[in-house]
Chain A
Amino acid sequence: MEPRSFTVSYAPHVHDGSSTRRIMWSVFGALVPAAAVAVYAFGLDALRVMLLSTILCVAMEGVALLIMRRDPAACLDGSAALTGFLLGLTLPAGLSNGIIVVGAFVAVIVAKQVFGGLGHNPFNPALTSRVFLLIAFPKQLTTWPVPRGLEDIKEYMGLAVTRTTDAVTSATPLAAIKEHAQRAMPNIQLNDLFFGVHTPGSIGEISALALLLGAAFLLYRRIITWHVPVATLATVAVLGGLTHLANPAKYADPVFHLFAGGLFIGAFFMATDYVTAPVWPLGKIIYGVGIGLLTMVIRLWGGYPEGISFAILLMNAATPLLDRYTVPTPFGSRKPDKAAPGQAGGES
């Protein structure tokens, strides 16, 4: 029999079939329910913002890769699209196109490609861009259009609704609580926060139910682990509870803090971004607790109504330190619990 020639490659020769591309697009899919609620609540404007930011991010990454003489097809691996989609979901529905272009540029170029693209960026690109826009365009980033069905209301949670020629805008639940706690406190409607269809806020954050649906999918497919979201939500709940007990008139109750604002989209989709989160379980828990803590500090005593974006960015900065100091002891490293030889027993 003639000797045959074969293909040579490295062991192991089998693979479990997972791929980064599929993971990125699964997370993209998990966000679709939240996007659907947003389109229902804010109409085509929300669709425009989301589509524009996703397409811009992918296009800009493609161009950047071309300029750096790298394979431009990499921009279709889902990470740029996911960044664009996430960015779109955290912006108010009525945002003008120009700001979205700037946002996409900051997210893809400044926060990611500068550091060498996927896998090397120290900060979450979508959030870096959102914080940048929030600070660069404070006015446009805090005009929240009123969702469908509330156009003719006069007051929302005790705050007057401003009516201009082209848009009707109102405060978000968090903003209402921050400025006029006493007046806004009694008219919190929890099921509004839960279903989110009638709550003003940024596109993706309003419906807690839709986000929880996507998160359940990610947890089931083990794309994210429970450590970060649970640690974050628990810390927010505990702090919310303590402050509410201490001074119920001034501080809202923990359930409100959980369901209001961008906590769910932050904890489940932003904080669990592989590249910028710690990798060890202990590190993830400390990271989650840190995010919860900073979010509440900013929400309760800080200058901005919503602290989740700043909190995640700050903890992103701490990730390298967490990775270095929370490494579990390797399997063999514990002192050998060696039974003295000759002893018949020897523990099992």
Chain B
Amino acid sequence: MELLLLAINAMLIGNLILSKFLGICPFLGVSRRLSTALGMSMAVLFVMVLASTVTWTLFYTLLKPLHLEYLRTILFILVIASLVQLVEMVMQKLSPALYEALGIYLPLITTNCAILGVAIDSIEKGYGFLPMIVYSFFGACGFALALLLFAGIRERLETADMPKSFQGAASSLIVAGILSLAFMGFSGLVPG
């Protein structure tokens, strides 16, 4: 029951993009096409869960006994960077079309604050191994949910004759704003 509440919290109330405003640049960058948004969500899901696991184990086996907790951020970035490099190679080999479509945004995951945010958050909140896995998995699902909804809306806006000044990023940010407004309805859904 505890894990269920944690999952709902990670996915809806504490949604990475729309409530915590993490990972905004891929959110705006990759959501032009639904297919690339899907690809990006899968890549982020894979990297996030893997990164959280690796960083969590490293923290508790290496940094904590040696009292080097302050090295946390640097080490996490190093791990995430190499993981993303790995994902990039795998994707270029397995599905070049998707690799081409994602383009610049794939290496961008390294500096994606959502992944680093989840990794550090798991440590900050002192989650055990299983809660950390649930938290990162459903956090990534929340990220995917927001990204897919947003990509659907942006694809629909392609047929809208918006005034010149609002085309592109401006209208997307407004849509994102209204989306997060709607997500605020979930606030107070789960105590604590």
Contact = CB atoms under 8 A, between A and B. Distances in A.
A309 B178 CA distance: 12
B156 interface: yes
Interface in A312-342: 313-314, 316-321, 323-324
Interface string A292-325: 0010011001111001011101101111110110
Given A302-B186, A317-B153, 17 more contacts: A114-B166, A114-B171, A115-B157, A120-B157, A120-B160, A122-B178, A123-B175, A123-B182, A128-B178, A297-B189, A298-B185, A298-B186, A303-B189, A309-B185, A317-B152, A320-B155, A324-B152
5 contacts: A115-B157, A123-B175, A301-B190, A313-B178, A313-B185
A15 B186 CA distance: 46
B82 interface: no
B2 interface: no
Interface in B143-174: 148-150, 152-153, 155-157, 159-163, 166, 170-171, 174
Contacts of B178: 111, 122-123, 128, 313
A115 B188 contact: no
Interface residues of B, number: 31
A314 B185 contact: yes
Interface of B is mostly: helix
A321 B34 CA distance: 9
A317 B189 CA distance: 20
B189 A318 contact: no
A341 B34 CA distance: 45
Contacts of A111: 178
Contact of A298 (B34, B150, B189): B189
B160 A116 contact: yes
Interface string A63-74: 000001000000
B54 interface: no
Nearest to A69: B163
Interface of A: 68, 110-111, 113-116, 119-120, 122-123, 128, 131-132, 135, 294, 297-298, 301-304, 307, 309-311, 313-314, 316-321, 323-324
Contacts of A307: 185
B188 A313 contact: no
Given A111-B178, A120-B160, A302 B149 contact: no
Contacts of B155: 320
Nearest to B189: A302
A122 B189 contact: no
A122 B157 CA distance: 8
Interface in B5-21: none
Given A318-B152, A324-B34, A313 B182 contact: yes
Contacts of A119: 160
Given A128-B178, A320-B156, A324-B34, A116 B185 contact: no
Which of B150, B184, B185 gathers most chain A CB within 10 Å?
B185
B171 A115 contact: yes
Contacts of A311: 185
A116 B166 CA distance: 9
Contact of A314 (B163, B182, B189): B182
Contacts of A321: 34, 148-149, 152
A114 B178 CA distance: 13
B148 A115 contact: no
B32 to A, nearest CB: 13
A310 B149 contact: no
A122 B156 CA distance: 8
B179 interface: yes
